[in-house]
Structure 1
């Protein structure tokens, strides 16, 4: 009798689909999969990596790997979402990690009688292995846990994608760890990639760049992050991050000019 009660309780527990999108993440993929060992299924959507990302992921019996040509982040995330078999979705980037306290909070949340339909995770930005306390990242948060039936990534955004939730949204209190900055070259490459996708987004909206975009917007981005958002208190780390984030804003517009020129 007790076993049947336990079995019924276990089978009725909400299940979690953990989703990861990857491109050349061999250095991260094993760690993030291990970090998600509490999920009921783990789905990796890979953009045809040139390194050993897929081979490492496929070595895990609890991981399903799909390959999908990368067009933009929104389409990649929605494709991953379509492959999930459970209602609760936990979406992680390969460079994000869930501390034990956040793991417990996630499990307690999905097992609660009354829940929101989606939850923001606050993120702690890591500069190499050290936390960045300011530089605009102190209030960084993203929706990482949500109900599949209530959510979709909006097609209008190609990068820094937005999850549209038809329901209640709340915050979890414990932080997700974001190992975003490994070295200068890799972070700069990431920022330029974001700039390129943002340029395509602006092109589709019919935006035409002018001196305001080339001068004022990147200058404002740097000064706002470095002065107003206290990047100066992060020392050299803050200077580097604020500069590269401003560079990403600036580079959107040369890319956009090239797109406009090639379409004429």
Structure 2
């Protein structure tokens, strides 16, 4: 009697991008083992889209950016395979992680979703502390068993119908390119967080405007040992605190804008 073989599982690798030239190249190369690579680009202006369009193993689609949850949900819909690997454009899959991913999706006892821990890179130097030690994200999962929730606009949440496990190997995340790039990213995240709070009818107050950013810095720099990262730790903890400050400044702006709109429509 002929021996039965389980068909090899196929994998879709997904990325969302906006102005990632200089980082997307390394990311694409690291996920070339996937059966398909799909990139959803938010109309980049730095050559990212043009670069991706020339890659024979990449399908690139342009789609307007509303928020991270909506964009990732759109990207997920494009995947042809049930097993999906979601990476950021500034992340790299190491050879050891590639081996673990392939082995995992072909394991009959695999979980429905997997958390990845990440190694954070400050330019080309490793960031060991500053609050990132225990950071983990769902990156590998079965499309049929998950959905991104609408509860968050940034740092989106994945709902899993089944079990979540953790892979041993880590993703390499080049989170910090330069000061202005990281600052811009943190301010953007802060504004999206403000919109989340506004939609949930959370109110602005001056105490949180002052206390929350200060606590964010002290928590990451002192309690999460950011001082052990030296100047890198100071920079990252400061910019993360700036993101929190921007969240409350934006919430105040949204409330004022809403109040103005209310009085303008009053009879």
Asked whether the two chains share a fold, i.e. TM above 0.5, the reply is yes
Q: Distance in 2 between matches of 1:44 and 1:187?
A: 22
Which structure 2 residues correspond to residues 119-138 of structure 1 after superposition, within 5 A?
119-138=114-133
> Which residue does the alignment assign to 1:88?
83
> Which residue does the alignment assign to 1:202?
197
> Which residue does the alignment assign to 1:239?
234
| Secondary structure at 1:18 match in 2 | strand
C-alpha displacement at 1:170, in angstroms? Answer: 0.5
Equivalent pairs counted in the alignment come to 259
> Which residue does the alignment assign to 2:38?
43
Q: Which sections of structure 2, spanning at least 5 residues, go unmatched?
A: 260-267
> Given the two structures, how large is their TM-score scaled by the length of structure 2?
0.94
> Which residue does the alignment assign to 1:227?
222
> Which residue does the alignment assign to 1:22?
17
> Which residue does the alignment assign to 1:175?
170
After the TM superposition, list the runs of 4 or more consecutive aligned residues in structure 1 that deviate by more than 3 angstroms: none
2:144 aligns with one of 126, 142, 149: 149
Q: Which sections of structure 1, spanning at least 5 residues, go unmatched?
A: none
Contact map agreement 1:29 1:56 (CA 8 A) in 2:
no
Cα deviation per residue 1:62-111 (whole Å; 9 max; x = unaligned)?
21111110000000000000000100010000000011111100000001
C-alpha displacement at 1:137, in angstroms? Answer: 0.6
C-alpha displacement at 1:14, in angstroms? Answer: 0.7
Q: Distance in 2 between matches of 1:26 and 1:240?
A: 23
2:106 aligns with one of 103, 111, 129: 111
Q: Distance in 2 between matches of 1:34 and 1:254?
A: 40
Q: CA RMSD in A?
A: 1.5
Q: Distance in 1 between matches of 2:184 and 2:162?
A: 36
| Secondary structure at 1:93 match in 2 | coil
| Secondary structure at 2:115 match in 1 | strand
Q: Distance in 1 between matches of 2:56 and 2:130?
A: 40
C-alpha displacement at 1:35, in angstroms? Answer: 1.0
> Given the two structures, how large is their TM-score scaled by the length of structure 1?
0.95
Contact map agreement 1:135 1:226 (CA 8 A) in 2:
yes
2:185 aligns with one of 187, 190, 198: 190
Q: Distance in 2 between matches of 1:130 and 1:26?
A: 20
Q: Distance in 1 between matches of 2:130 and 2:60?
A: 36
Q: Distance in 1 between matches of 2:5 and 2:210?
A: 60
